[in-house]
Structure 1
Amino acid sequence: MEGKANVEALIAKFQFGRLLNQDQNGRRITLLGSIESQAALLTAERAAFPSSTETIQAFLASISSVENIGANDIYHWYLASTQPSSSETSSSPLPSLKLNLIYPCTQKHISKYSSQTLRMVTETPSIYRDYVLPLMQRDRSSGRLDWIFNIIEGRKEQEDIIVRAHNTRTGALTEIDQEGFLLLPDLNWDRKTMSGLHLLALVERRDIWSLRDLRKKHVGWLRTMRDKLLDATVKVYCEQGVERDMLKLYVHCKSCNLFASFDPFDKTFNQSFNVPDQPTYYHFHIHIVHVMLEASGHTQSTGKAFGLENLISQLEMMTDPSPSLPYVSDFPSRGDRTLPPMTTGGSGDQTIIQDDSGISASAQGQGVEHDAGMQNVELTYFLGEESDLWKEVFGPLKRGDLKAT
């Protein structure tokens, strides 16, 4: 026991020199220092949360210094501490927690955040058209996009907007409208650690509901968005040393999630928690992250996200779709989803709609587009057994209760 005590005493003897590294979005630090005049490296990482009833109750009782940092509809986000309210070195303890409160929550929220078995599925173009899209359309009128439109339309969380690309609000999808976007911080980012930088660009156009709606004709728009987002991010954070080649842009399968982990905006991006997922809503957005966050492995695992550059390249190389030769891409994803409403031109000249195949088309009798795009791609991803997609589509398909066309 004496040897163990001596080893444990080394930590108290550690003399801090300088911070060498901070990764996993600030959850782990590596320090250079010394012990008894000899160089020493100390890595500190936050421990796992407790799982027993007693320790969870003790943990909840220890939460103090709660500070609200955002609220939108039923979603509320906080910084808090589990340190004592008094401190020898500071009048207020440093925040050690980010909290996400969903209140009141629904059964869908409970299912979504519960531990569950994962399944790998392949969503063919026909499965998307016949089964997945109807689910999306069913959720479309549920009001689950209200919290997004609260932000876009200036009613909520305006203080969190880093950049707003102004557009005219005519109600029609003008060229300016199509390039409008809001740039906001992911609430899993502490807004200080540049190596953990994570932003979200919420586009204002409403005809692109998900990755499935992207066509070869959107390559120019995606390139424009990429350049604008990189320029905007560098302009805001250049004094903190952020450069263009330090940033990665990506999208999720089905445009999943805004604001992550404890999932504020994203309502599940699950950086390192539980189950990767299908989106809780369908409104196209782009993630902007620091490459060091990517390197830490906690933003996207292989297949979890689709790099924007790769997406542009894939769309660019597409030719006319062939039913016998589908394009194949891999993505992971999970459960809930919702869609934006259709946008109607103020003059009544044009209505953007979504047809059975998920392809946007004009309502002026021009018919449905058939150009090459992500509507012809097979998507392979994983989802939880509690998700609507598993319960209503892929589970019945596996059992033979539904037929794949």
Structure 2
Amino acid sequence: MAESENDRTTKRRKTDADNEHGDVGEVSSDSPVSDFEITRILRECSREKNIFIHGKVKDQDAVVILEKTPIRQDTLSKLLKSSQLKLEMKNDIYSTYQLQAPAHLNEIKMTVVCPATEKHVKKYLHQEVFLVEESGEDYRNITLPYISSQSFSVQWVHNILEKKAEADRIVFEDPDPDTGFVLLPDFKWDQKQLQDLYLIAIVHRRDVKSLRDLTSEHLPLLTNIRSKGEDTIQRQYDVPPSKLRVYLHYQPSYYHLHIHFTSLEYNAPGCGVEKAHLLSDVIQNLQADSSYYHNRSLAFPLRADDGLLLRFKEAGKL
């Protein structure tokens, strides 16, 4: 779920049966990083306040992601009253301080990917990005054969659909095999601030990989997701459709059709024009032309180490 984007796909692969660290919200007595040995920093961003670290845990490759959690409105009063201040500078009406907050108000979100494959490590490594323009013919001759040749596992998605994992996180489900889906929060959202609202709708159908597979046949599925997804979010979180960004990624981070619901206030990874396609636009395009996404050219970004980028270069498309 959500990738992408962030590595949601790995975080979700744990099933209920092999969850060794207790219930969600429980303080873990068995730290997965107590033996973590740092190898290198893959990427860091001061603006987004996160860092991606490659290392080893008991001789297994691992990626650890550390991310400062947002400042929450409901804890502001406690934060200001109970923190220690260290003066850095004072000049007339201006002053700056180092604010040392109590531990429970100064949390850092940690995501652990272990064992991490080379693909995971490369995903988080800072690299050049290139914009590829893919025609319908390019998709059939270059992209689809590449996808088919790779072992992109979506077993973790099937675990969710079959209630083998994350069943307690599902906020809505329509079980219809053709038009149904499950809706659950993306791991990028801490579910504490509505400004960062982020949910994913995963379809029950397993024969639709991405935007490229959609035709007018799928309009009932898409309109059902939009209608029931927006209704659920308004009812459960009091966020109206007019404050939502509802879209699909192309290329997606995993090849099982899913749709993103994010707050308009949240600049979610992958919500830019080079990757995101508004669901309302997709529906209108398919209403006008059933083969729209089979034939039209689609642009998307690829990292320098992506195998698909090499295929496009070999075909003389870059």
TM-score (norm 1): 0.53
Q: Provide the rounded CA distance (Å) in 2 between the counterparts of 1:128 and 1:299.
A: 21
Q: Any conservation in 2 of the 1:213–1:373 contact (CA below 8 Å)?
A: no
Contact 1:181 1:203 in 2 (8 A): yes
Q: Secondary structure at the match of 2:109?
A: strand
User: Are residue 302 (structure 1) and residue 273 (structure 2) matched?
Assistant: yes
| CA deviation vs aligned residue, 1:164-211 (integer Å, no higher than 9, x gap) | 22x2xxxxxxxx211221111111112011121111111111111110
SS of residue matched to 1:105:
coil
Partner of 1:283: 256
- Structure 2 Cα separation of the partners of residues 182 and 188 of structure 1: 17
Q: Which amino acid letter does the alignment assign opposite residue 316 of structure 2?
A: K
The match for 1:120 among 127, 131, 147 is: 131
CA distance in 2, matches of 1:249, 1:49: 25
Q: Unaligned regions of 5+ residues in structure 2, if any?
A: 1-45, 56-61, 70-80, 84-100
Q: What's the CA shift string for 1:365-402, capped at 9, x where partnerless?
A: xxxxxx523111111122111011012x11212389xx
Change (3 A) 1:308 1:106: same
Contact 1:185 1:198 in 2 (8 A): yes
Return the offset for 1:129. 0.7
Shift of 1:79: 8.2
Q: Give the alignment of 1:183-332 within 5 angstroms.
A: 183-238=183-238, 242-254=239-251, 256=252, 279=253, 281-293=254-266, 296=267, 300-318=271-289
In structure 1, what is the Cα distance between the partners aligned to 2:156 and 2:65?
14
Are the aligned partners of 2:63 and 2:121 in contact in 1 as well (CA < 8 Å)? no
SS class of match (1:93): helix
Asked whether the equivalents of residues 79 and 96 of structure 1 are also in contact (C-alpha less than 8 Å), the reply is: no
Q: How many residues align?
A: 239
- Aligned residue for 2:33? none
The residue that corresponds to 2:314 in the other structure is 396
| 3-state SS in 2 of match to 1:177 | coil
Q: CA deviation at 1:248?
A: 2.1
Tell me the residue number matched to 1:150: 159
Change (3 A) 1:222 1:76: farther
Matches within 5 A, 1:85-164: 92-139=103-150, 142=151, 144-164=153-173
Return the alpha-carbon distance in structure 2 between the equivalents of residues 154 and 186 of structure 1. Answer: 16
Displacement of 1:297: 7.0
Per the TM alignment, residue 116 of structure 1 is displaced from its structure 2 partner at its CA by 1.6
**Aligned amino acid, residue 173 of structure 2:** R
Q: Deviations over 1:251-302 (max 9, x none)?
A: 1113x2xxxxxxxxxxxxxxxxxxxxxx2x2000011111222xx5766122
Would the aligned equivalents of 1:247 and 1:289 in 2 still touch at CA under 8 Å? yes
- Superposed CA RMSD: 3.2
Question: Which SS does the other structure have where 1:398 is aligned?
Answer: coil
8 Å Cα contact 1:191-1:197 kept in structure 2 = yes
Q: Which runs of 5+ in 1 are unaligned?
A: 1-44, 61-73, 82-86, 168-175, 257-278, 319-370, 401-405
**Is 1:380 equivalent to 2:299 in the alignment?**
yes
- Alpha-carbon distance change, 113 to 372 in structure 1, aligned in 2, over 3 angstroms: same
Distance 2:307 2:276 in 1: 21
Q: CA deviation at 1:303?
A: 2.8
Calculate the TM-score normalised by the size of structure 2.
0.66
Identity %: 30
- Decide whether the 8 Å contact of 2:129 with 2:304 is kept in 1: yes
Q: Distance in 2 between matches of 1:375 and 1:220?
A: 18
1:231 to 1:105, Cα distance in 2 relative to 1, 3 A: same
Q: Quick one: distance in 2 between partners of 1:178 and 1:196? A: 30
**Aligned counterparts of 1:46 and 1:202: Cα–Cα separation in 2:** 30
Q: Structure 1 residues 375 and 121 mapped into 2: Cα distance closer, same or farther (>3 Å)?
A: same
Looking at structure 1, the residues matched to 152 and 135 of structure 2 have their Cα atoms a distance apart, in angstroms, of 28
Any conservation in 2 of the 1:79–1:95 contact (CA below 8 Å)? no
* Alpha-carbon distance between aligned partners in 2 of 1:247 and 1:220, rounded to the nearest angstrom: 21
Which amino acid in the other structure matches residue 206 of structure 2?
R
